[in-house]
Chains A and B, each alone.
Chain A
């Protein structure tokens, strides 16, 4: 992602953000509400077009070669939505059609992976928020992606669900070298799995850090983030 910018009429948005994510990274995007995290992920997944800058996934430009760029990407952006009038199985069947080489059995596996196998044939309209979140995760993982983009993946999940998702992410990153780009305000969750973080504030990426950076300084990720947000605020105050 190079010099990516997207500004809304109210002056908010994303300003000149650049960063790379390496294969196998679990990259956490952290920042307060309105920092521009979701806008950034929406541009990454083609839901929004950047005003400026370029975004490449596995060497393919998202704006120019979208199909190739998204071929091995799974994602949940903003909310975990699904077709309420269909079953979980049918929802995943729709997604599976985009991947001709995917065996039909993969749908059952994905549902099992997120603990929804026994509810596979129930209408999603009757699901709880947590179950919908799990279904969205199953949909993101369905195509055996090389990269997974998750926006607030633990929203609506109970503690057990959060632990499950954390473990799933860690296992997939380690065993299959899947790259994860996760936006979350749950700093504790990210501190347990992320090996790199980007801190966003007011549309800008104010810090890119490695896990060993905050550990070396004897900080928790939370302390590290707060320190940099505070420094950014003071710099803004000085400018004014």
Chain B
């Protein structure tokens, strides 16, 4: 009972710490405001050009593609850096480590809190996009509700893989800036590398940030979806294990 409780207790704690940071609230606000601003822009353009009704219908998917390309990964880099390197720099990590909770669970609870954060951000973006889309004239957002819900659910997997990569990087630093900078550099390099070496994109986890696109319509076979899912899962497992090993061996 005590064992299970400590994991649950620290997951709640990590979520509370995450929520009480200003940048978490800022990120959530941005997630809610950008779709509204995009809907206003589309409405204004449609009034002038009169041909943008179908774009309004795909507002949730447009927003998902935009956010999974850069804003969401950056927000995840910040969350991972704050949760691990930031706490090491502020020495507050010790407040948790001297409590009756095993290190394995401390690490797991921090990752769980990041997972919840990803889910909340995706859910907030979907809700904000759907509601904003309703206000775009001639847009039929309700008609593509199921499709967008599937895409948003699918997007959780690559975002979690990116988040776990950031968690692993954060283990190598004892300050937030270092962890953030290296995560951003790796991400930028991984996004640019396929332009030089196209074959890299098949294996790079960062090439799958738009994985949700594969789930829309019937263009991609189930086998392809399954193989790419297992690739992302393998990245998640490797990043989690590597991060945990480094975290568990640290001396504070």
Contact = CB atoms under 8 A, between A and B. Distances in A.
The answer to whether A and B assemble together is yes
Interface string B67-107: 00000000000000000000000111011011111110000
Contact of A82 (B21, B95, B101, B103): B95
A70 B251 contact: no
A2 to B, nearest CB: 20
Interface size for chain A: under 10, 10 to 19, 20 to 34, or 35 or more residues?
20 to 34
Given A42-B252, A49-B251, A86-B20, A81 B97 contact: no
Contacts of B2: 67, 71, 100
B13 interface: yes
Which of A47, A69, A71, A94 has the most chain B CB within a 10 Å cutoff?
A94
A68 to B, nearest CB: 8
A79 interface: yes
Interface string A29-72: 00000000000001001111100000000000000001111110
B94 A70 contact: no
B9 interface: yes
A78 B94 CA distance: 10
Contacts of B102: 66-67
Contacts of A77: 94, 98
Interface of A: 42, 45-49, 66-71, 73, 75, 77-79, 81-86, 90, 94-95, 97-98, 100, 139
A47 B252 CA distance: 5
Interface string B92-133: 101101111111000000000000000000000000000000
Nearest to B251: A48
Interface in B13-34: 13, 16-17, 20-22
Nearest to B249: A49
A46 B17 contact: no
8 contacts: A67-B2, A67-B100, A73-B100, A75-B98, A78-B91, A79-B91, A84-B90, A95-B95
B190 interface: no
Contacts, number: 80
A94 B13 contact: yes
B12 to A, nearest CB: 6
A26 to B, nearest CB: 20
B185 interface: no
Given A77-B94, A79-B91, 9 more contacts: A46-B97, A47-B97, A69-B100, A73-B98, A78-B94, A81-B95, A90-B20, A98-B6, A98-B101
B105 to A, nearest CB: 8
B3 interface: yes
Contacts of B91: 78-79, 81
A70 B92 contact: no
Query: Taking each of B3, B6, B98, which has the highest tally of chain A beta carbons within 10 Å of its own beta carbon?
Result: B98
Given A79-B91, A83-B92, A47 B20 contact: no
